[in-house]
Chains A and B, each alone.
Chain A
Amino acid sequence: MTMLQHAILVLILPLLSATVIAIFLRRAGGIAAAVSVTAATAIAAIALILLLHGERFENSMEWLKLGNFTLSLGIKFDDLAALMLTIVGVVGLCVHVFSLGYMHDDASKARYFGGLSVFMFSMLGIVFADNLFMMFIFWELVGFSSYLLINHYHEKQSAADAAKKAFIVNRVGDFGFLLGIVMCYWLNGTVNLTELAGHHVFSNWVPLLLFCGAVGKSAQLPLQVWLPDAMEGPTPVSALIHAATMVAAGIYMLCRINVLMVPQALTVIMWTGTATALYAALCAITQRDIKKVLAYSTLSQLGYMVAAFGVGPTLEGIPIGDARGLPNSILVGGVGAAMFHLTTHAFFKALLFLGSGSVIYGCHHEQDIFKMGGLKSRMPITFATFTIGVAAIIGLPFLAGFFSKDAILYLAFANNKAVFAVLAFTAVLTALYMVRLWKIVFLGAPRSEEASHAHEGGLSMTVPLVLLALLSVVGGYGFVFKKLAGNVAILVPEAEGSAHSVILATSLVVMILGAGTALLLYRPTESDALEVKSPGLFGALLALKESFDAIYDYYVAKIQQRFAILLNFLEQVALAGLVIRGVSGLVGLIGIGARALHVGSLHAYVYWFLIGAVLLWAYAAGVF
């Protein structure tokens, strides 16, 4: 089998799995789970084969043609796609296996695992997409699978609302994304990524409109509102979709279209990412729900990646897997750092989310961190792996997050000191809220019945944790990332000389500052130490978090709905009432006829019409 056939197989397998589950296994949750996990295993295995085999290729097939417009579906498999494929495959497998334990007793297991397979299919479509239309197709489909899985506990109003919100907010981003694609098509005559790299017209609008898609999918300001709510979905889903892969698709897409970037667009992207990183980190500090802390942390880290992409300089092309003899290279320096952090983040954030899943499972679906405590001794594997995850995200030296965060800080330091300052401060906050979470959940004594009976889940839950913990340790080392990312790894900036010392010192200081504050400030008790000691600051942070939700709710309830009702009223009164009555008054005949028209006379009208037509025909045909 050629490598192209391998790639096609990877794409088709999860679709096949979803189809089989939807049609035949609706009532057979156990078999459905087995089918879905088998598919995920095969995907991970083939992904590794494709990565290690080293062949990079590109191929496409015409899917729709009307006039001069052709839409193709194709596979562009370069180093960037290989890296993303590996992440999706490996994290996907871990989450699938973890779900076997976590969702073991769920009544709608078949729907859940079917949904996971739909997600894998859609996500892999984004990874492989060789043109923007194809990317958009799968972009919408991941949105759908996200909707499906957030809505898993659909009998809960909050879950139903969260799913709806996620889809609609994403559609707002996609509105810009689609316009960007259409505009790109008319400007350049193609949306094929490789052809665009070869030649394209520079425009400010195209990259900015395309970026709207990333703002929605990667939950950047001001469209971040859906992601915290999306935590209503089962925790493994949060790990896979809302932490490691789908929300990172926005960054992947930016890297895909990096050749279209212009400096003005990069500036907007940089500041959007920076603002999101800071805003979300501030929000995370006040959260009580273990998943919400992680959700805001994800937002913040996604902001980091977006900022990294935007802050990077434009440079000479770096080839990433040549195909068809066309230029296929990267022109934006931020791609390296952004993809590097995307990779390590995928590992440690999936680990943290699955760890939180393990905690939630162990505590019988308690999610309030102040009702946990003392889990260190009761859930040792979860504790150990979670600790590695926390260490990785706060940038403890020699763990994955340390390297990737340093790369971003260095890039910012070299290109924009203001962004550097904000990101460094965000790193303080990251260490603060993560250590807070860690200390309150795992240390001290159990503060609830559930926590005191907490227990470790089965092997299906602990093995993925250990695997991801391992990746969170080694994923940051150059030799590992080089293997995963090929030439993309060349772009990861490495600090030298004095800059190196500055960055190293900064990252150590911010980590110690944040973690130290958290260790000193927070006690594993039932109340939030910050709330007790500084209610003003706590209240301000809480208000900051709620301001966006308030604006969103105000817009939906007060502006959009009222406007719709007003239009509806005008429709009923103006059009249906006045205008039509007016017209029927003018055309008196019709008006009178209409009022006389009841069911009985309607028949009469109809029959007269028919008889008339027949007579006319008969006459014209010379029958009599």
Chain B
Amino acid sequence: MPRVFSDFVMNFHFDPLLLAIATPLAVAVAILLGLPKRHSIKLAYVGFGVPAIIALWAWMNFPADAGAKYAFFTRYSTGLDSFGITLALGLNGVALPLFVLAGLVGLAAGLYAIQSNAERLKIYLMLLLFMQGGLMGVFASVDVFFFYFFHELALIPTFIMVGIWGGRDRNYAAMKMTIYLTAGAMLSLIGLIAIYVKSGHSGQTFDLIMLREALAAEPIGATTQKHIFGLLMFGFGILVSLWPFHTWAPLGYGAAPSSAAMLHAGVLKKFGLYGLIQVALPLLPEGAKDWARLLAYLALGNVLVVGLIAIAQRDLKQMLGYSSVMHMGYAFLGIACFSVLGVGGVVLLMVAHGLSVALLFLLATSIHQRTHTLDMTQMGGLAQKTPVLAAFFVAATLAGIGLPGFANFWGELTIFVALWHFSPWMTVAAVAGVVISAIYGLRSVAAVFFGPPTEALDKVTAAHPPADLSWREKIPALILLAALLFVGFWPKSLSTPLNSTLAASFRMLDAPRLTAGR
């Protein structure tokens, strides 16, 4: 132990990425050790604020021509160096957008949790902070071991939060989520270990940079690639609710407390897609091509089947859960395209979807507090009483259904364009999704906010006159909405670093194939 510790101290210098991970974790540990509630809340602001500020700082200072290189790169010894495990932190153009996403959604979820007056708020915040630290770690890790480790660190609090603070069906939901997500995590872990085992005769490693170099020089055999990619595709796929392994998601999100749903649906769920893009595609390109068609078929299940199921929902959060699953279909379709355009579109969509779905879950909870129900047939006319809440919800819904001006549009559009090159008829099916999402999106908006209020709602509002969105709810919502609009109006802010990194990494992929062809 002392050796590890001294190494750490010797190597230490100011590292913003480490700070972004460590701050929420440190605050969480402090609360765990018995910090009084008053201080806990004050420190929680720091715990959620620091990662967000660092994320924005990283965004502003990210080199435009990063290429395959990682910016803000640092490597720490862990004592397991001989096993090829080091804590390597850095951001490339793919990681940066998600790091920013994690920072912003984390801040919004944290602020919303602080004002929520949840029971046992201290413990709730502590778990959220653990989650936040884990999330920042997932996207800052250059080492596959820590990438996975941080995911687990963030995942476990999710189960606990659903189990304790969840709504209706929380036990069943927590159980189902745990089974599915653990199964997904296990499958992908086996896949990742397989890569590690196959990573070269000179010395096995979890380090992504070294893995890329090693596997570019000496690719894994095609059959093995196929097996490993299959493990990762289904493992990560379950985590991202690939059809038909998606049933945990609507149930889980329906039951999860709002901040947990925001962080999980908004950010943590993206781990699987991120893993496919950052690990599986560059290391197992042949495997990816073998599986692409099946992946795309299943993804169409997400878009069409789950999309239609979303239309049938009466419960607002269930509907949001299904719509979130539906949009993951677009992401898988983009990955199946195996091109800079398709994969770039996926990253844009991940960021946009994360922001918009977090905003929707936040607002759904605010609606619930005012209507005392989530059944959309029991609402109506809420816009007359809470116009600001209505405006936010309409904006978030329109973002979700891909209206230009919001970030989501760019993700969907680029995926559609890329998909045509992969398969025109699949593009036809996928674009049909824009009609489906308009139907369930606008229906829910109309059912909740427009028309005359239902009798049931009249009774509730007579007993508890609903107030419009308070500033404490508005600020986290504004953070998310502003980010959606910023990327929506200025997509270059993300696409430039993204393009630089993806172009470099796809160039690397093309190189060995060309030599193999000779």
Contacts and interface: CB of A to CB of B under 8 A. Distances in A.
Interface of A: 62-69, 71, 133, 136-138, 140-141, 144, 147, 151, 154-157, 159-161, 163-164, 167-168, 171-172, 174-175, 178-179, 182-183, 185-186, 560-561, 563-565, 567-568, 571, 575-576, 579-580, 584, 590, 594, 597-599, 602-603, 605-606, 609-610, 613, 617-618, 620-623
Q: Select the residue from A182, A565, A622 with max chain B CB neighbours within 10 A.
A: A182
Interface string B222-259: 00000000000000000000001001000100000000
Nearest to B179: A594
Interface of B: 1, 4, 78-80, 83, 149, 152, 156, 159-160, 163-164, 171, 174-176, 178-179, 183, 244, 247, 251, 305, 308-309, 311-313, 339-341, 344-345, 381, 383-384, 398, 403-405, 409-410, 413-414, 416-418, 420-421, 424, 427-428, 431-432, 434-435, 438-439, 442-443, 446, 449-452, 491-492, 495-496, 498-499, 502-503, 506
Contacts of A151: 450
Contact of A178 (B344, B431, B442, B496): B431
Given A154-B449, A178-B434, A183-B420, A606 B159 contact: yes
B403 A186 contact: no
Q: Select the residue from A133, A138, A155 with max chain B CB neighbours within 10 A.
A: A155
B311 to A, nearest CB: 4
16 contacts: A67-B341, A68-B340, A133-B413, A140-B404, A141-B403, A163-B446, A164-B442, A168-B438, A175-B434, A175-B435, A564-B309, A564-B312, A567-B312, A597-B174, A597-B175, A620-B79
B435 A597 contact: no
A617 B404 contact: no
A67 B159 contact: no
Contact of A164 (B313, B446, B498): B446
Given A161-B446, A609-B156, A621 B80 contact: yes
B431 A171 contact: no
A71 B414 CA distance: 9
Nearest to A173: B435
Contacts of B428: 179
A186 B420 contact: yes
Contacts of A63: 491-492
Contacts of A147: 442
B446 A160 contact: yes
B253 to A, nearest CB: 15
B312 A561 contact: yes
B410 A64 contact: yes
Given A64-B414, A157-B452, A178-B434, 4 more contacts: A154-B449, A568-B312, A602-B163, A621-B1
B175 to A, nearest CB: 5
A67 B499 CA distance: 6
Given A160-B450, A179-B428, A67 B413 contact: no
A598 B160 CA distance: 11
Interface pairs A-B: 6 shortest CB-CB: A67-B340, A160-B450, A621-B79, A66-B344, A564-B312, A568-B312
A155 B312 contact: no
Name A's interface SS.
helix
Given A64-B491, A594-B179, A155 B381 contact: yes
A149 B97 CA distance: 35
Given A64-B495, A67-B344, A68-B341, A602 B424 contact: no
Contacts of A598: 171
A171 B450 contact: no
A23 to B, nearest CB: 11
A140 B488 CA distance: 14
Given A154-B449, A178-B434, A66 B498 contact: yes
Contacts of A182: 416-417, 420, 427, 431
Contacts of B247: 571, 575-576, 580
A571 B309 contact: yes
Contact of A69 (B305, B417, B432, B435): B417
A3 B344 CA distance: 36
Given A67-B502, A69-B414, A186-B421, A179 B434 contact: no
Given A64-B492, A175-B431, A580-B247, A168 B439 contact: yes
Name B's interface SS.
helix
B492 A140 contact: no
Nearest to A159: B450
Contacts of A65: 492, 495-496, 499
A147 to B, nearest CB: 8
Contacts of A179: 427-428, 431
B449 to A, nearest CB: 7
Contacts of A136: 404
B438 A606 contact: no
A4 B17 CA distance: 44
A115 B29 CA distance: 49
A575 B163 contact: no
A65 B64 CA distance: 13
Contacts of B446: 160-161, 163-164
Contacts of B244: 575, 579
A579 B414 CA distance: 35
B481 to A, nearest CB: 11
A178 B164 CA distance: 46
A154 B174 CA distance: 39
Contacts of B4: 621, 623
A71 B179 CA distance: 43
Contacts of A62: 492
Nearest to B447: A160
A622 B82 CA distance: 11
Contact of B159 (A64, A602, A623): A602
Contacts of A133: 413
A66 B345 contact: yes
B138 to A, nearest CB: 16
A545 to B, nearest CB: 25
Contacts of B434: 171, 174-175, 178
Contacts of B179: 584, 590, 594
B416 A178 contact: yes
Given A155-B450, A568-B309, A580-B247, A606 B495 contact: no
A623 B7 CA distance: 14
Contacts of A590: 179, 183
A173 to B, nearest CB: 10
Contact of A599 (B152, B174, B439, B452): B174
A65 B175 CA distance: 43
Contacts of B452: 155-157
Given A178-B431, A179-B431, A575-B247, A66 B495 contact: yes
Q: Select the residue from B159, B251, B413, B414 with max chain A CB neighbours within 10 A.
A: B413
A602 B340 CA distance: 42
Contact of A602 (B178, B312, B438): B178
B449 A137 contact: no
Contacts of A159: 450
Nearest to B451: A157
A544 to B, nearest CB: 27
Contacts of B404: 136-138, 140-141
A66 B80 contact: no
A609 B496 CA distance: 40
A594 B175 contact: yes
Q: Select the residue from B1, B409, B446, B506 with max chain A CB neighbours within 10 A.
A: B446
Contacts of A185: 417, 420
A62 B490 CA distance: 11
B424 A183 contact: yes
Contact of B451 (A156, A567, A602): A156
Q: Select the residue from A67, A168, A565 with max chain B CB neighbours within 10 A.
A: A67
Contacts of A160: 446, 450-451
Nearest to A621: B79
A618 B4 CA distance: 10
Contacts of B417: 69, 182, 185
Contacts of A144: 398, 403
